[in-house]
Amino acid sequence: MLVLEKNAMTEEIELLVHKYGKLRSSLLPILQDIQRKHNSIPDFAQQEVARLLDIHPVEVFSVISFYSFLNTEPKGKNIVRLCQTITCDMAGKTGVAKALERELGIKFGETTKDNKFTLEYVNCLGMCDQGPALLVNERVYPKVTPERAVQIIGEVK
């Protein structure tokens, strides 16, 4: 990371710490804000958050590694998450999965070459009555069919 980028990042995190308070409990909202803006939480940002909250970098890393929606390595610009739990599976998850893989040309857990899409499985999205459920960035799509999945990807593109 360049020095200028580092300085900008520090300033940004200082603002976030000011916004949420210098508390251990502010860690998650701060990390979520960084994730939202940068699509990942870089090493340097983790260490700065730790320094400014007076905790240790490994504690920040531990929290990030616990939550699937936080990541240290950059992912695609849009993240497509398909629910893999049992009710969605029985409601036809497999077909949707195949359609998504075909449409994007990647397997689950991968990112497209143009860095536009990352395809992932997630556990229960809480839409068990309306499966299969798909989460694209921050929007949930219930009762997704293979055709609808392709259409959604097209809308996002």
Partner 1 sequence: MESKDNLRVPGSQKPLTIEKPSDLNTIGGTVSVEINEKKITVPLGTTILEACKMSGISIPTLCNHEDLCVAGVCRICVVEVEGMRTLQASCAFPITAPMKIRTSTPMVRKARRNIIDLMLSEHYGECYSCFRNGKCELQALAKEYGVDSYTYGHVSKPKYEIDKSSYSVIRDMSKCVLCKRCVRTCIDLQEVGVLEAVDRGDKTHISTFLNKPLNDVICINCGQCINRCPTAALRANDPSDEIWAAIDDPKKHVIIQTAPSPRAAIGEEFGLGAGHSMTRELNTALKRIGFDKVFDTNFTADLTIIEEGTELILRLYKALVKKEDAALPQFTSCSPGWVKFIEHYYPDYLDNLSSAKSPQQMFGALIKTFYAQKAGIDPSDVVSVALMPCSAKKFECNRPEMHASGFKDVDYGLTTREMAKMIREAGINLPEMPKSDFDDPFGEASGAGLIFGATGGVMEAAIRSVVEFVLGKKTEDIFEKANIIPLRGFDGVKYMEIPIGNEVGEVPDIIKHLVPDWNWLKGATLKIAVAHGTANAKKIMDNIKAGGKFSECHFIEFMACPGGCIGGGGQPIPTTPEIRKLRAKAIYAEDESLELRKSHENPNVVKIYNEFLTDGPCGHQSHKLLHTHYTKRGRYIA
Please give the residue ranges that form the binding site for partner 1 (CB under 8 A): 24-25, 43-44, 46-47, 51, 55-59, 61-62, 65-66, 72
Q: Cβ 95 to partner 1, closest distance in Å?
A: 28
Q: Cβ 147 to partner 1, closest distance in Å?
A: 34
Q: Cβ 65 to partner 1, closest distance in Å?
A: 5
d(CA 58, CA 69): 18
> Of 42 and 95, which has the nearer Cβ to partner 1?
42
The tokens for 121 are: 């499985």
d(CA 27, CA 102): 38
Strand 139-141, strand 117-122: pairing? unpaired
| Cβ atoms within 10 Å, residue 20 | 16
Q: Whose CA is closest to 15, among 3, 2, 37?
A: 37
> Of 11 and 43, which has the nearer Cβ to partner 1?
43
> Of 52 and 150, which has the nearer Cβ to partner 1?
52
> Of 25 and 154, which has the nearer Cβ to partner 1?
25
